[in-house]
Structure formats: structure tokens, C-alpha cells
Amino acid sequence: MNNDRLSRTPAILADIARFAASARRVAARGHERFADPEDDDQRRIARSLIVDLSAAADRLPEEFREAHSDVDWRGIRAARNFIAHDYDGTDEKVLWEAVAVQFPLIVAALGIE
């Protein structure tokens, strides 16, 4: 692993931890608020967090991702691509699952908080 890429890893993991903290706040506000048809703020935040997580994951060194193979790196990228290219059609259940279930699992697998 090249030293420059290795030296950036802690900052990237700190970004992922921040995104996870935001995801926790969205989930803590509850599914009812998340699904409110009159207010899409929480769903927009969730979309943004998934895109941000994917961008951060792409910046992690390949060796790091290989060492953490229990994280579904391809799934993270696929979720981002789905959201980016099917914006209006994104299923809110997928978004909720990402913020309420998947983010905590990723953080736990990476050992960051």
C-alpha cells in the first residue's frame, strides 16, 4: 500500500464515521418522519449520505477494502449508482434500510464510531 494512500485512510474513515452519525440522526427521527410525503428532507439526506459513503469508499486503498471484505463495497457502489441514476424512482424502503440498518453494520465492520 502506497504511503500517501495509507496516510489518507484515517481521514477517510473519519468522514465515513461522520456520515454514519448523520445516518443515525435520520434513523433516530423515525420512519414516520422519513416517509412523510409532505417533507422529503430526510430522504434527501439519506440519498446524499449514500452518495458520500460511496465516494469515500472509492477513495480507500484497494488493500484496505480487501482487508475488510466483510463490507459489501460493491453493494455500496451499486446503491450509489442506483440512487444517482434513478433519483425519482428510488424506493424509500431501500433508503431507510441503508441509513437505519446498513450504515451501523458498515461502521461496526470497520470498527469506527
Residue 58 has pLDDT above 90, yes or no: yes
Q: How far apart are CA 113 and CA 102, in angstroms?
A: 14
Q: How far apart are CA 41 and CA 110, in angstroms?
A: 28
List, for residues 9-44, the tens digit of each pLDDT value: 999 999 999 999 999 999 999 999 999 999 999 999
Predicted pLDDT of residue 85: 79
Q: Residue 35: give the domain boundaries.
A: 3-110
Q: Provide the number of structural domains found in the chain.
A: 1
Centroid of chain to Cα 55: 9
